[in-house]
Amino acid sequence: KKEKSAVALSSTDGKILFQEAMASGGMENYFDLAQQHSSQGTNGNSLTCMAMVLNALGHDPKQTWKGLWRWTTPELLKSQSNNNNLDLDQGDV
């Protein structure tokens, strides 16, 4: 059986698939991730991705980011990895 090709979300078919998934309740997690999406991380894509997912899950880093906000950032993850002797280049994360 031939596998279907990926469909661009912005295409007509992609929009139809998105609407169908929304109607069936299958897109609830999309919004948690979409509002956290960041492609501007400076410490590597893996830390940016991990920060995005932790924030989408509502993880509390127990450290203040700005003002009263407690937010996971790639920089926070980098500092935590240094404190715990994790080698990010060797895949410890």
Q: pLDDT (tens digit, 9 = 90+) per residue, 17-31?
A: 999 999 999 888 888
- Tokens standing for residue 6: 């990926």
**pLDDT for res 8:** 85
Tokens representing 77 are 């993850």
- DSSP annotation of 11 reads S
**In 10 A of CB 52, how many CB atoms?**
21
Dump pLDDT digits (tens) for 21-71: 999 998 888 888 787 776 655 555 778 888 888 888 888 888 887 877 788
* Cα dihedral 32, 33, 36, 39 in deg (nearest 10): -170
Lowest-confidence region among 6-10, 19-23, 57-61, 88-92:
88-92
